[in-house]
Amino acid sequence: MIDLLKRYPLPVIVLAQLFGTSLWFSINGVWLSLSAQLGLTETDLGRLTLAVQAGFITGTLTIAVTGLADRFGASRIFALSSLLGALVNGGFVFAAGQPPLDFILRFATGLCLAGIYPLGMKLVIAWTPKYAGAALAWLVGMLTLGTALPHLMRGATLGMPWELPLMAASCLALAGGLLVFLLGDGPHLPKSSGRLPLSQGLAALRIPRFRAVAGGYFGHMWELYAFWTLTPLLIGRELQRLGQGEALVPWLSFAVIGIGAAGCVGGGRLSRTLGSEWVARRALMVSGAVCFLYPWLNGLAPVLLIALLVVWGIAVVADSPQFSALAAATAPKESVGSSLAVMNAVGFGLTLPAIWLTSGLWGQLDVWVVLLLFPGPVLGLWSLSRARPDVKPG
């Protein structure tokens, strides 16, 4: 079996990434039932989602500063993180509605995800260095599907206890960790470089083009995770207008979020001929336009607004792997890893206020709350316009 896994390393890593990142939004997929049973509010949802983001930021910065990913095998860190993530995610079943324990467990889940998502990128380079650019689009696509997966599991277990989808996500994470552990580190894994001071990652910010690309990424991140957090609420609003119950919320939420994987893969293909910057710019334009227009169109037929959410779901994440490719091509070669880690940490840091604002103000502003996300793509486009010259296609 190990020989079979090593014959097809990229599909194995991509599948493991999908399984592992299902932990990220595991409680969001069951929120309607969870909140109804325990009397929790959208503010509680924002609090717990912020805990995951904060944990991921802390973990990513730790990796960037200490060089942990270079000191130990990437596959072992991935497997251990998957195991621990599965345990703390499962532990939430017993801590739901019991602050601060529920917050601590979600924070710990974010810490574990820091050993899954970035290490998945490193494993791709270790196994398929010649195709790392195309594979990156698949990895981000799997992160997107992993984010949507809890909604699918909730739809498939409709009528069953909300605990089941959470436990299913933990089982998937265990399976993903086992796959990567059996696969191993790969023949092209970079050798250890010891400690990586934070200054090495910050040094890239002195490069004008890197700053411009990073600014585009920061604007993208302001919009992305807040949109994913709001998706079940926006879907629920339109279904309520249709006179439907909650049964379709998880299925449609999965569709809106999960279709972003197609946007990532499609954008990756376009980048081969048109360049990563072209794809990133167009994706920001489309998502920004939908973000601005959506609340003004709130009186349209619910079916049309759900279709508009699907378009938003495609565009909102299609630029993500392209920003990573642009940044990697611009950062100093000797510190690409730490530069990207710092950029990711700052980007995910910006998701905290975005999620907090939108989830906290949903009850007061309803659909108009999405306008708070509009500055993200606007500032991202402005920053990206200062990025010259463009990265060559390929």
Query: In tens digits, what is the pLDDT along the chain, a chain of 394 residues?
Result: 777 788 888 889 989 988 998 898 888 777 777 888 888 887 788 789 889 989 999 998 887 777 676 667 789 999 999 999 999 999 999 999 899 999 999 999 999 999 998 888 778 777 876 665 677 788 888 888 877 877 787 777 667 788 888 898 999 999 999 999 999 887 765 555 555 555 666 677 788 899 999 999 999 999 999 999 899 899 999 999 998 877 888 899 999 999 999 999 999 888 888 888 999 999 999 999 999 999 999 999 999 999 999 999 999 999 998 898 888 778 776 666 667 778 888 898 898 899 889 988 988 999 999 999 999 999 999 999 887 654 443 3
Q: Is the pTM of this model over 0.85?
A: no
The single-letter code of the amino acid at 320 is S
Q: Encode 286-308: b = buried (16+ Cβ within 10 Å), e = exposed.
A: bbbebbeebeeebeeebeebbeb
Contacts of 206 (CB under 8 A, 6+ apart): none
Helix residue spans in the chain (DSSP H): 2-7, 9-20, 31-38, 42-66, 68-71, 74-95, 101-113, 117-127, 132-156, 163-183, 198-203, 208-241, 249-258, 260-274, 276-296, 302-318, 320-330, 336-365, 375-384
Whether 322 contacts 271, CB under 8 Å: yes
Identity (one letter) of the amino acid at 5? L
Task: List CB contacts of 137: < 8 A, sequence separation 6 or more.
Answer: 264, 265, 267, 268, 269, 271, 321
Alpha-carbon 299 to chain mean position: 30
The CATH 1.20.1250.20 domain(s) of the chain lie at: 1-184, 203-386
Distance, CA of 35 to CA of 110 (rounded, Å): 21
**Ramachandran angles phi, psi of 319, nearest 5°:** -85, -15
DSSP 8-state secondary structure symbol assigned to residue 392: P
- Kindly report whether the peptide bond that precedes residue 129 is cis, defined as omega within 30 degrees of 0: no
Dmax (CA) of the chain:
59
Provide the 3-class DSSP secondary structure of residue 316: helix
CATH code 1.20.1250.20 for 1-184: yes
DSSP 113: H
Write the CATH number of the domain with boundaries 203-386. 1.20.1250.20
